């Protein structure tokens, strides 16, 4: 194999890069691209090829240019998300400007009399710049823009869309992605209720962005610095609404907290104070916002090692509980002392089912109805809770853009540490209100001399023992993912370890298609295979359940079957 770089393709790539350079308003990315172009050398050699094993500086430069300019970062239901740098296939001020003007054109085309947008941002590198660019460009385009007053959690932006009755919202964040990434998340107000975009809006916005990119240079787009900046009352309203999640009186319980170098702490601290909860012991090394993420390359509480500093702090101060937010505070991780010097880290499905149980009890006590919702790849445990309490249950496509839209939703969660407990104010996952709900459970348990692990035992006794595992296969090139999924669909496995595959279902054939293949084994274990929406991974979500015997026997059975399926799928996918 070789990488053909004939004169025509070289000229096209160089032209695209030069055109980019001419309109880029950012000095850093201009310098980065200028240096890269200087390494390309002469392009006047017809039919030249660069072999795969050519490691010369010039060859590497051409590969880099092709990666940056042969395509563009795709706008989809997750908005934009990618590595920062110069080029159409990177996150930068040119791509953001095109997205901002394209979103403005989309909103204007809907014919709303006074379209408006609220814009938030976190503390990642360049987030504030991308947010201000968006505000200036949308204001000039005729969309009334309001910028949040500082770097704030993503849930505050989701709240602001509803609170301000805005037509749309933009949150500049890459959430828990690696430190070199950034992203652009879009919400719609009105009939969309402040939820993230779903088809067909994503395709319509993408088309509007492409139209801007094809005919206009971003340095020629009009700008207007007359946008509004939201005052402190908006954040006050979010804090007050979130503090109301607490139902039980606080009891003495030492809690350690990490913000993972993100923006969660200042707002979360105010929520705690408003709810009458004592201050947490913070992980000093990670409490201040820092877009360089000096202690973690992958600031995701699910990643191995990400909570090491939290464990150290909690052990040193004698905490009983750890609360961890990801950098934009829309996700929540929870760990509890095991009483023997170690820590029990709850999985997303574990906290998800306990908070769902809490929501069901609250609804029942109030004589209310509603729906418990989760994603297709999350544990089926929530279905048992809904059945027990006579509530509705919905399994949606992955992502809170779908979960938040479930009819009559009173609670929703996904296994990737995302929880929606305050549906009246926020229609997205919210790590701050979820933390309050977890503390609510912990306080109620502590008042009776019990722990969250005891509550998990009670759940297992009532509903059965559920075991979840996840297998992930990472690829260097995201373009490989469709081929892997196509292979799974064409020749699904008939055996997973010692268990036979009893059922295969392809969700792409459903009325609302999803890129997921489900396998059900003859022992009842469920496997969901899907590509990640934010990383170059194929993921397998494995869930086993047992309702036979004692709680210990149930757990042993469920864990054994989940572990066996996970091991077999690693072998099949590798």
Q: Report phi then psi at 52, rounded to 5.
A: -60, -35
Map tokens 């201040």 to a residue.
288
3-state secondary structure 58-90: HHHHHHHHHHHHCCCCCCECCEEEEEECCCCCC
Is 417 strand, coil or helix?
A: coil
Helix (H) or strand (E) holding 120: strand 116-121
- Which tokens belong to 185? 């998340």
Indicate the burial class of 240 (C-beta count within 10 angstroms; 0-12, 13-18, 19 or more): middle
Question: Which of 175, 195, 404, 433 is an active site residue?
Answer: 175
8 A C-beta contact, residue 155 and residue 238: yes
What are the Cα distances from residue 508, in Å, to 134, 210, 449?
35, 27, 48
Q: Is 175 a catalytic residue?
A: yes
Q: Which of 447, 464, 437 is nearest to 360 (CA)?
A: 437
d(CA 40, CA 65): 9
Helix/strand/coil percentages in the chain, nearest 5: 40, 20, 35
299, exposed or middle or buried, with CB in 10 Å at 0-12, 13-18, 19+? buried
Q: Could you give the CA distance from residue 30 to residue 26 in angstroms, rounded to a whole number?
A: 6
The encoded tokens of residue 177 equal 């992605």
Instruction: Please answer whether residues 130 and 93 qualify as being in contact, where contact means their C-beta atoms are separated by less than 8 angstroms.
Output: yes
What span, in angstroms and rounded, lies between the C-alpha atoms of 307 and 299? 9
Structure tokens at 248: 């039980």
**Which residues have C-beta within 8 Å of that of residue 143, sequence separation ≥ 6?**
104, 107, 108, 115, 116, 117, 167, 168
Identify whether the C-beta of residue 160 lies closer than 8 Å to the C-beta of residue 169.
yes
d(CA 426, CA 238): 9
DSSP-assigned beta bridge partners for residue 324: 258, 333
Catalytic residues: 175
């Amino acid at each position: 194999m070789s990488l053909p770089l004939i004169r025509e393709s070289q000229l096209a790539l160089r032209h695209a890069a030069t055109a980019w350079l001419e309109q880029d308003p950012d000095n850093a990315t201009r310098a980065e691209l200028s240096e890269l172009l200087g390494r390309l050398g002469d392009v006047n050699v017809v039919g030249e090829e660069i072999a795969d094993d050519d490691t010369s500086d010039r060859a590497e430069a051409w590969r880099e240019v092709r990666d940056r300019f042969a395509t563009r970062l795709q706008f989809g239901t997750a908005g934009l998300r990618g590595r920062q740098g110069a080029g159409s296939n990177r996150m930068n001020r040119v791509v953001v400007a095109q997205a901002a003007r394209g979103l403005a054109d989309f909103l204007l085309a809907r014919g709303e009399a006074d379209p408006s947008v609220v814009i938030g941002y976190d503390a990642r590198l360049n987030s504030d710049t991308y947010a201000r660019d968006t505000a200036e460009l949308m204001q000039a385009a005729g969309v009334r823009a309001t910028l949040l007053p500082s770097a704030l959690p993503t849930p505050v932006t989701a709240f602001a869309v509803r609170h301000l009755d805005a037509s749309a919202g933009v949150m500049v964040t890459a959430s828990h992605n690696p430190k070199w990434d950034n992203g652009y998340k879009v919400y719609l107000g009105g009939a969309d209720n402040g939820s993230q975009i779903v088809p067909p809006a994503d395709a319509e916005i993408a088309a509007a962005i492409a139209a801007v990119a094809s005919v206009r240079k971003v340095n020629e787009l009009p700008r207007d610095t007359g946008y509004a900046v939201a005052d402190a009352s908006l954040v006050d309203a979010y804090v007050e609404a979130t503090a109301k999640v607490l139902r039980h009186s606080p009891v003495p319980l030492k809690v350690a907290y990490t913000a993972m170098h993100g923006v969660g702490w200042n707002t979360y601290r105010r929520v705690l104070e408003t709810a009458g909860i004592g201050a947490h012991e913070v992980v000093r090394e990670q409490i201040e916002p820092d877009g360089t993420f000096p202690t973690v390359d992958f600031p995701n509480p699910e990643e191995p090692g990400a909570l090491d500093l939290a464990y150290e702090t909690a052990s040193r101060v004698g905490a009983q509980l750890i609360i961890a937010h990801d950098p934009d505070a829309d996700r929540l991780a929870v760990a509890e002392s095991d009483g023997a010097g170690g820590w029990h880290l709850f999985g997303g499905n574990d906290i998800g089912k306990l908070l769902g149980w809490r929501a069901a009890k609250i609804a029942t006590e109030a004589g209310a109805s509603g729906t418990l919702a989760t994603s297709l790849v999350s544990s089926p445990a929530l279905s048992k809770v809904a059945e027990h309490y006579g509530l509705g249950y919905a399994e949606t496509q992955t992502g809170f853009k779908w979960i938040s839209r479930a009819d009559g939703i009173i609670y929703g969660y996904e296994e990737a540490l995302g929880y929606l407990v305050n549906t009246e104010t926020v229609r997205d996952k919210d790590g701050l209100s979820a933390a309050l709900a977890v503390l609510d459970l912990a306080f109620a348990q502590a008042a009776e001399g019990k722990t969250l692990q005891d509550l998990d035992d009670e759940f297992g006794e009532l509903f059965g023992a559920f075991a979840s595992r996840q297998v992930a296969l990472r690829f260097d090139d995201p373009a490989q993912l469709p081929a892997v999924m196509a292979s799974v669909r064409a020749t699904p496995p008939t055996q997973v370890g010692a268990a036979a595959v009893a059922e295969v279902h392809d969700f792409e054939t459903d009325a609302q298609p999803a890129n997921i293949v489900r396998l059900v084994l003859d022992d009842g274990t469920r496997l969901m295979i899907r590509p990640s929406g934010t990383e170059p991974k194929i993921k397998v979500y494995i869930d086993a359940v047992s309702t036979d015997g004692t709680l210990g026997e149930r757990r042993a059975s469920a864990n054994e079957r989940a572990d066996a399926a996970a091991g077999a799928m690693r072998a099949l996918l590798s």
